[in-house]
Structure 1
C-alpha cells in the first residue's frame, strides 16, 4: 500500500482564468479518467481558430447575399404550377384508362375483321 497525503481545497482568489499545464511528462495512454491530468479554466481562442471562424462567416454572408430571392421564388412558383397540372391530369386517369381500353378493344375487333377478310 502507498500512503497518500493531500492538502485541503482552497479557492484561489488570484486566479486569472488561465489554464494550468500539467507536468511535462509523457502522456498516459490508459483510459483511466481518474488519473488523467487536470486543467482548470477554458482554453483560450487562438488566432487561427478566430481566422477560420471569420472566413466561414464571410463565406456564409457572401452566399446569402448572392442568392436572388425573387428568382428562387419564381422557380418554385413555376414548379408548383407544373405539379398542379400533373395532379389535374392524374385526377382524370381512371376515365382516360377506361377510354383507352375501349379504343383498344375497338381497334382489335377492326383488325381481326380486316385480317379475316384478307385471309379468306
Structure 2
C-alpha cells in the first residue's frame, strides 16, 4: 500500500476518533452537570469494601479455573489462570458470546493448553 494512502487512512481514523471523543465528551459533561452534588455522599470504606469483594470474586473464579485446567492435566500457574478466567470476560462488551469464547481459546492456546481440552 502506498505511503500516501496509509497516511490518508491514518488521518481519517484520527478524525473519526476525535469526532467520537467530542460527542462522548459533551454527553459526559452534560450528564455530570445534571448531578445533584449535595445529595451525593462518598464513603471510602464502602468503596474499598466493594473493590475488595470484586477482587475476591475474580480471584475465586481464577482459582476455580486453575483447578479445572489442572484437573485436565494442563499445568497452569495462578497468574495464567487469572488471565484465562478474566480477560475473555471483556468479550462481553463485544456483541456475541463467540468473541468471548474465541478469546478464551486463544489465551489457553498461548499457555500451551491443547485444543482438545
What TM-score, normalized to structure 2?
0.28
What TM-score, normalized to structure 1?
0.27
Q: Which has the higher helix share?
A: 2
- Flag the structure with more relative contact order, 1 or 2, with Cα contacts below 8 A and sequence separation at least 6: 1
